[in-house]
Structures are given as C-alpha cells and as structure tokens.
C-alpha cells in the first residue's frame, strides 16, 4: 500500500511538471508569433498556475517586454533624448563607482530655472549635470522639455521619468529598487510634487531650495525624504514653507512611526545657494532601498491622474484630485482604512499572500471579500504591460466594490 501511495504521488508530481511545461510552452509559442489578439483571448492565460509556473511566466513576459522597450527606445537612450508626444526631454549622465552585485543606483536630478529663456534653462541644466557626485551610481540630469514655472510637474514628466527608469535598468543595469529623485530651486519644486506623485518609483528623494505650493506629503509614507533649505532663502517664503513641510512630516511620523522617515535641514546663514552643504543628501538617500510592496499604502490623488500606486489601482473614470485610499495588509487580510472610490483593485503575488488560503478584504470590520484566488498569466502580463517593473509584478488581482467612507 505504501508503495502504491508513493507511485501515485510521483505520478501526480510528474503530471504537475508536464502541465507547467505545457502552459509555459504555450506562452512561449504565443510570444514568438506575430499577433493582434489580446492575451485574455488565450485559454492558457486564464488557467490557474502554481508558484513555479507563475515565476517562469513572469520571467518570460518581463524579458519580452524589456526587449520591446529596448528596440523602441534604444536609439533615444543612445541619443540622450526621449520623446513623449510633442515633448522632447534631453538628458546627460555620469557614472560613478564600481557596479554592485545587485545593480547600480540611479539619481534623477532636476535643474532650476523655469519660466525663462532657453539659454538660462540650458545653463541651469549644465550646472545640474556637474552639481552632485554620488559614491556609486548613474547620476542623470534631464533637461526640462518646457520652459515654464511648473516645468517639472506637468503630466508628460511622469511618462518620461518612467521611460528613464526603464531604460536605465535595461542599458545601465540599474536596480529599480535603488532609484532616487532630487532637484534644486525649480527642480526642488518638482521634487515636492513628483516625489509624492510617483512615490512608488523612488527609494528616497531630496528637495533642495524649492517651493511646495499646495502639495501634501501623504504619499511619502514609504520612501525616505529630506528637505534642504537656506535659512535666508525667503523669496516666495521658501524657508518658512520648508520648515512647515518638515513639521507636517514630523506630525505624520509621530502618528505612523513606521512611515514618513525624513530629515529637515534649514542651513544657517545660507540663502538660495547652500554652497553644496545639501550634497549630504546624496549619501543619506543611498541608505534607502525601495519597498515596492509595503504593508501599508497611503494614496492621495494629485491633479495628474494615476490609475495605480504600489499594489493598488482604481478606475480612471473615478479619479479626482484629492481622493484618498488607505489600505494595509497582513496574514492574507487587506484592511481598507479610508476609501473615496467605488471600485478598488488589489494586486497580489507570492511575497504578499499565501495562495493556498483565502484572501480577505475588510472594511469597517466587515468582510467584503473572502475566498481563494488563483495565479494567472493574464494578470502577470497586465501588470508588466502597465509598469514593466520587476518588483511590481502581480500574478493575481481582486476587485472589490465598496461604499465610499471618510
């Protein structure tokens, strides 16, 4: 009897291996062929996957997507000039130090200037290229695609920064969990805006001599954030605004001690130029690695709509500036703490949940979802198409319809 059980278990194991091979082979065949149909139309894409199958499918799909990006944008990277519609963003970079085993750091450093002439903004860009020198990493200074006061937080910047990160990963072996944002003056204005708006891209960010406008730091929960401001930099009330923003971060950290890690530096006796004392922000940022799958996400919607943030997504037609969504998870249970949307989608992978157990979604103490989920190629494919970020690949999604509550 014991031998029969062992034989049956071996047969079952072999069957699972063959099934996995067939699914992966079907995906490989589909990827190798010219196609117009959506992957959702493929039966193999909707089958339940084992953890091993999901891992293998993710590798195939991610490599395939990277190859498409390389072919489509490789010349733009080589020419140091990215295009998004009518916008053209030039950039230059310097490489420092030996490449670590886990990949290089990437510093995206935004120049000052703004609503002025091409010549002035070019001068500011050239200054920015030489301004900081990390111990290790790719230090990249983009040239703003426009000459406006809000040049670093217009909607096209989001797409272009995503391209920079993806291409730096492909061509410079950058680790996507070691990407940092920084900027001076008008570039500092950009950090105030873009650090929260794209917080799920950054490990840390540093603001130098900028103005926050009406931005909120809520989305900064899971990254490191430092502020550098000259004590005498009182134009546009920048010094007082930096101190106020730092106090906001203090308050958020006091309530949520695992989040909102930050430093505020009001540099004594300095004006708008801090004589490079702010360079200390570079090694400070380098201590941080991005947590792409944090256990708690605080998401405040800016005036540039984003459908996804970390492992959360919402319908585009429901997005409005000021809407919030706060969700945390532990032990296969997702608890929605605040919600301004009717529909919320949650991405899942094996680093987050145990797929052998039910997944629960709880709102106000009530379970609104409670069942097992399955890994599918379709979901892996969609997550890679959305971001092409190795740390944000999801093998399953659950969608819940909710009552809106404050």
Tens-place pLDDT, residues 56-70 = 999 999 999 999 999
Give the other-Cβ count within 10 Å of 172's Cβ: 17
Examine the pLDDT at 11 and tell me if it is beyond 50.
no
Domain boundaries, the chain: 80-286, 296-401
According to DSSP, residue 315 is labeled -
CATH code of the region 80-286: 3.40.50.1820
Predicted local distance difference test score (pLDDT) of residue 104: 98
Averaged pLDDT for residues 275-295:
98
Tokens standing for 224? Answer: 């490191």
If we measure between CA atoms, which residue out of 111, 115, 109 comes closest to residue 125?
111
Q: Categorize the per-residue pLDDT at 402 as very low, low, confident or very high, splitting at 50, 70 and 90.
A: confident
Residue that has been written with the tokens 């690695």 in this structure:
289
The DSSP bridge partners found for residue 369 are 361
Q: Categorize the per-residue pLDDT at 38 as very low, low, confident or very high, splitting at 50, 70 and 90.
A: confident
Averaged pLDDT for residues 277-303:
98
**Contacting residues for 47 by C-beta, under 8 A, at least 6 apart:** 23, 376, 377
Tokens standing for 69? Answer: 């990006």
If we measure between CA atoms, which residue out of 111, 183, 194, 94 comes closest to residue 145?
111
**Contacting residues for 241 by C-beta, under 8 A, at least 6 apart:** 211, 212
Q: How far apart are CA 15 and CA 7, in angstroms?
A: 12
Tokens standing for 116? Answer: 């002025």
pLDDT in tens, 373-393: 999 999 999 999 999 999 999
pLDDT in tens, 337-387: 999 999 999 999 999 999 999 999 999 999 999 999 999 999 999 999 999
State residue 332 phi and psi, 5-degree precision.
70, 10
Averaged pLDDT for residues 89-93:
98
Beta strands 87-96 and 81-84, pairing class = antiparallel
If we measure between CA atoms, which residue out of 253, 402, 378, 262 comes closest to residue 325?
402
Containing H/E element for 197? helix 186-197
274 by DSSP, 3-state: which?
A: coil
Dihedral, CA of residue 378, residue 310, residue 72 and residue 65, to nearest 10:
-30
pLDDT in tens, 254-283: 999 999 999 999 999 999 999 999 999 999
Predicted local distance difference test score (pLDDT) of residue 310: 98
Predicted local distance difference test score (pLDDT) of residue 2: 53
According to DSSP, residue 392 is labeled G
- The sign of the torsion formed by the CA atoms of 124, 130, 132, 138 equals positive
Q: Residues 219, 199: contact at Cβ < 8 Å?
A: yes
Summary count for the chain: helices (H), strands (E): 8, 17
Predicted local distance difference test score (pLDDT) of residue 282: 98
According to DSSP, residue 352 is labeled T
Predicted local distance difference test score (pLDDT) of residue 14: 40
Mean pLDDT of the chain: 94
Predicted local distance difference test score (pLDDT) of residue 10: 43
pLDDT in tens, 76-87: 999 999 999 999
Predicted local distance difference test score (pLDDT) of residue 18: 41
Predicted local distance difference test score (pLDDT) of residue 406: 61
Averaged pLDDT for residues 172-200:
98
What Rg do the C-alpha atoms of the chain give, in angstroms? 23
Predicted local distance difference test score (pLDDT) of residue 12: 42
Examine the pLDDT at 31 and tell me if it is beyond 60.
yes
Q: Categorize the per-residue pLDDT at 1 as very low, low, confident or very high, splitting at 50, 70 and 90.
A: low
Tokens standing for 63? Answer: 């490599």
Averaged pLDDT for residues 42-68:
95
State residue 359 phi and psi, 5-degree precision.
-100, 135
pLDDT in tens, 223-234: 999 999 999 999
């Amino acid at each position: 009897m014991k031998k029969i059980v062992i034989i049956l278990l071996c047969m079952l194991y072999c069957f699972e291996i063959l099934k996995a091979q067939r699914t992966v082979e079907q995906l490989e065949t589909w990827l190798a062929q010219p196609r117009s149909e959506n992957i959702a139309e493929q039966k193999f894409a909707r089958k339940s996957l084992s953890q091993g199958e999901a891992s293998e499918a993710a590798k195939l799909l991610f490599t395939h997507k990277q190859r498409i990006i390389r072919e489509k944008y490789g010349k733009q990277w080589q020419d140091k000039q990215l295009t998004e519609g009518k916008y053209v963003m030039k950039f230059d970079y310097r490489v420092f130090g030996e490449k670590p085993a886990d990949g290089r750091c990437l510093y995206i450093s935004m120049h000052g200037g703004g609503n002025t002439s091409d010549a002035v903004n070019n001068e500011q860009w050239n200054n920015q290229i030489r301004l900081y020198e990390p111990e290790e990493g790719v230090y990249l200074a983009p040239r703003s695609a426009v000459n406006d006061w809000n040049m670093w937080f217009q909607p096209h910047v989001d797409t272009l920064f995503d391209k920079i990160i993806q291409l730096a990963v492909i061509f410079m072996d950058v680790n996507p969990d070691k990407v940092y944002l920084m900027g001076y003056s008008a570039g500092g204005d950009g950090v105030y805006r873009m650090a929260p708006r794209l917080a799920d891209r950054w490990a840390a960010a540093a603001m130098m001599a900028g103005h926050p406008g009406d931005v909120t730091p809520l989305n900064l929960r899971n990254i490191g954030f430092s502020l550098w401001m000259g004590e005498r930099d009182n134009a546009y009330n920048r010094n007082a605004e930096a101190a106020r923003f730092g106090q906001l971060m203090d308050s958020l950290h006091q309530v949520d001690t695992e989040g909102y890690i930050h430093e505020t530096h009001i540099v004594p006796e300095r004006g708008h130029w801090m004589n490079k004392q702010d360079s200390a922000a570079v090694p400070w940022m380098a201590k941080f690695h991005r947590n792409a799958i944090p256990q708690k996400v605080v998401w405040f919607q800016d005036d540039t709509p984003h459908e996804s943030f970390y492992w959360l997504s919402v319908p585009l037609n429901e997005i409005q500036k000021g809407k919030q969504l706060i969700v945390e998870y532990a032990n296969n249970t997702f608890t929605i703490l605040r919600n301004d949307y009717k529909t919320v989608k949650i991405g899942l992978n094996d680093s987050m949940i145990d797929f052998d157990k039910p997944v629960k979604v709880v709102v106000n103490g009530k379970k609104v979802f409670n069942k097992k989920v399955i890994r599918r190629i379709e979901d892996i494919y969609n997550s890679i198409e959305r971001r092409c970020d190795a740390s944000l690949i999801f093998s399953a999604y659950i969608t819940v319809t909710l009552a809106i509550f404050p």
